[in-house]
Amino acid sequence: MKIDPKQSQPEATAPQPLLVQWWQQWRENITILILALGLAVFIRTFVAEPRYIPSESMLPTLEIGDRLIVEKLSYYTHLPQRGDIVVFAPPPQLQEQGYLEEQAFIKRVIGLPGDKIEVKNGRVYIDGAPATERYIAEAPNYAMSPTIVPPDQLFVMGDNRNNSNDSHVWGFLPKTNVIGHACFRFWPIDRFGGVS
């Protein structure tokens, strides 16, 4: 029996047109780009995001131009604690003054629901006891009558007490407005590290 040499050799596949090869490469790149963008949006929305400090209200803790990482995960499991530095969307009373919902503020949590907050004689008092505040720029030069923090609200203040648009001016912050907790400064390099 004779073997036909044409049948014993596999047929060579025709090369793909250049346009098909180009499209396959670009399709891979586009898929990777879409996945990366989706992951970035997910992380920024639910995990952490960078923020920039535009004002002096948190001096000396935070300076103008500081860049921070604001983490969001911890507040899914527990509520903000006294002393936390929180980033938040302006509450309704600030939006009525012209601030946009996208304009984030950053302040320190001073009062929790049920706390009685008062400012007198250059000190902040919580439930009648003077607060220990090693982080402030200077003692407050104003007074504020005793006020009870309502349920689901926070009382927040800037560390630069005499140059801060905070709860002593506009009232309480709804917990639902809290975006996250400022936890880490990544710029400038010489101040790189945790934010306390």
| 151-183 residues labelled b (16+ CB within 10 A) or e (exposed) | eebbbbbbbbbeebbbbbebebbebebbbbbbb
The residues, ordered by sequence, that sit 6+ positions from 30 with a Cβ below 8 Å of its Cβ are none
Q: Per the residue annotation, which of 57, 72, 164, 167 is the catalytic one?
A: 57
Measured distance CA(62)–CA(171) in Å, rounded: 23
Active-site residue 164, yes or no? no
User: Which residue in the block uniquely carries the two structure tokens 């499209």?
Assistant: 23
Q: Per the residue annotation, which of 6, 55, 72, 107 is the catalytic one?
A: 107
User: SS3 for 51?
Assistant: strand
Active-site residue 107, yes or no? yes
Are 162 and 122 in contact by the 8 Å Cβ rule? The answer is no
Are 140 and 118 in contact by the 8 Å Cβ rule? The answer is no
Active site residues: 57, 107
